[in-house]
Structure 1
């Protein structure tokens, strides 16, 4: 598909009022997306586990503007987070509406009230842009489906992922599926730069209900935003090799997902996490998002894995917090290790227990 395929091709109907609510999860990338082209197009493909417990719930109410209300002149919305009006969140949503107006030409015809809340603390250091933007995109496309009831389910979910990407790149991976691919890859059928797709190939049962214990090392705001970090890849001396590496690692994961080889899975996932941060440390200007306790946790995980042979590994987002990944069958002994040896490196011993989920649901 091409971007213009998401512009409504037929005249849309109208509704006087509407209300919809979606619950959408965050996700954790195994092969990382770092670097983007114009219009939120990824510089390399990525694949992520959809999470189950870290979710955003968003409700969207709309009322059609009266002809006397300068209909079509501006976006009219109010945004509430955790029940409180949040004016400081509105610029990001306004920018999102500007990006998607071409594909959602009805936006200026309605007044919107948006209520959003997270299942995890907003200050927990877990990025909510993926879950938040995907939930909002799904809500908007649900309103469009009321205006155009003939929209197919397949087009609905593709368009929701397409719009979510324009709000936050990784949000397109939070719509459907346990494993989601975003970005064109020669060996993954249906993969696209425009939206995320559920991984279409065989997945070994060992990856069913895979566990993710998120260790909250630092809950503060990042000193360098992800958007700035992505932009620094444009003139990065190692960028092209990094993009090739992501393609190779995704190719290797195809065989790993089929065979269930956890040793090879661990090698790729940890390498991807460290490569992501190596790109940050070797950009110009360079920056470091890991904290001393991030490194302490990584070294503890390596030592525990060496001593026990248990298939525990880590991955990192663009921040200091550590995602500890392991199979459900090893949950008891690995979580005991986490409690006994890793929580001391977390901010106030805080963590989030999560696992692989199925994607967004309409409420």
Structure 2
């Protein structure tokens, strides 16, 4: 157990209702492969989104028998309730009061389900923030910086990448020599003064190529890295890419940023294809969009590029500047045709 985050035994529980909001994030250097207790096999860095969020209210009924009821968009979700019960039992050492009441959790996402936007990241981020609000009420102690750090730590134990959603801007999770305060146990903000202004105002438009459930879950995918013959090389490469990215972020080298981010996205999917058993989450439309982006960039030299999560949908990244309108026009005219239902989620990052 991590002593810094162990819960205090002195607390006074009471009926409470708290509400929190937490955004999703999109990784630039990918986390794929982990050890026990949600420890990442390599460091990752992500952009926190502005608009794609999970809004959660948590009602705590003191002294009732421990149970969890969950509602997603007004509909009761029994499987999710089971998952949260298991999660709460797992983190009791850090919040000793957590099993001493009943929870009614109501959650809504501002983005479509199964859209390639990490709802587990925003969802567990919001739950962890709610839990820390309750902890502050019950313990009578509230150090805001520590509260956020512990929320990131707790969110990680629910969903690894969730720990990155607790902070704005560029966020690092996983120990790396390139970021002084970085840790495997929680996320930290990348130093703002080390980021060139070109990277601080970015669009992320998500093309919904496939809106159904993935054929292989991220949990299973992470597990398959344990036997992937290329895993160790991949983990080493992620550390090397971090060193490269640090220089890129400092000097504003957009061309090399594009190259590195696209390489990371394709490496993630290459790892899936080289797993045993192999699996492919990209769809025909994913590949068509990628080729169209490459053609467009070659013809126009405009900075439209992509990243991918563990799914078929394509995150279209481009800076918000004088060229943005031409890029947006191209997306609407040429790329929407490859989506399932003309689906696109428009988000951005500015900090």
Q: Does 1:137 align with 2:136?
A: no
CA deviations over 1:269-290 (Å, ceiling 9, x no partner): 0000000000000011110000
Q: Which structure 1 residue ranges, 5 or more long, are not aligned?
A: 70-74, 359-363
> Does the 8 A contact of 2:67 with 2:85 survive in 1?
no
Counterparts of 1:113-152 in structure 2, within 5 Å, are 113-152=104-143
Checking the alignment, whether the CA contact within 8 Å between 1:125 and 1:220 is kept in structure 2 is: no
Bigger CA drift: 196-205 or 334-343? Answer: 196-205
Aligned counterpart, 2:336: 343
Which residue in the other structure is 2:284 paired with? Answer: 292
CA RMSD of aligned residues (A): 1.3
Question: How far is the alpha carbon of 1:105 from its aligned partner?
Answer: 1.3
Query: After superposition, what is the alpha-carbon deviation per residue over 1:91-131, rounded to whole angstroms, capped at 9, x for unaligned?
Result: 21122112211211111112111110000122434331000
| Count of residues in correspondence between the two structures | 349
Equivalence for 2:4:
5
Alpha-carbon deviation of 1:150?
2.5
Task: After TM superposition, give the deviation of residue 312 of structure 1 in Å.
Answer: 1.1
Aligned counterpart, 1:199: 190
Aligned residue for 1:176? 167
| Greater RCO, 1 or 2 (C-alpha within 8 Å, sep 6+) | 1
Q: CA deviation at 1:85?
A: 1.7
Does the alignment pair 1:239 with 2:237?
no
Distance in 1 (CA, whole Å) between partners of 2:281 and 2:165 is: 24
1:235: how far off? 1.6
Report the secondary structure of 2:56's partner residue.
strand
> Per the alignment, in what secondary structure is the counterpart of residue 333 of structure 1?
helix
CA contact under 8 A between 2:116 and 2:206: conserved in structure 1? no
- With 338-347 and 90-99 compared, the bigger mean Cα shift is at 90-99
The aligned residue for residue 43 of structure 1 is 41
1:17-42 per-residue CA deviation (whole Å, 9 max, x = no partner) reads: 11111110110000000000000000
The structural deviation recorded for 1:357 is 5.4
Determine whether 1:332 maps to 2:336. no
Aligned mates of 1:357, 1:86 — CA distance in 2: 34
Aligned to 1:323: 315
- Alignment match of 1:277 (pick from 269, 273, 282): 269
Length-normalised TM-score, structure 2: 0.97
TM-score for the superposition, normalised by structure 1: 0.94
Query: Equivalents in 2 of 1:123, 1:50: separation in Å?
Result: 18
1:104 and 2:95 aligned: yes
SS in 2 for 1:315: strand
**Residue in 2 that maps onto 1:158:** 149
The Cα offsets for residues 232-256 of structure 1, whole Å up to 9 and x where unpaired, read as 1112111111001101111111111
Find the aligned partners of 1:4 and 1:39 in 2 and give their Cα distance: 15
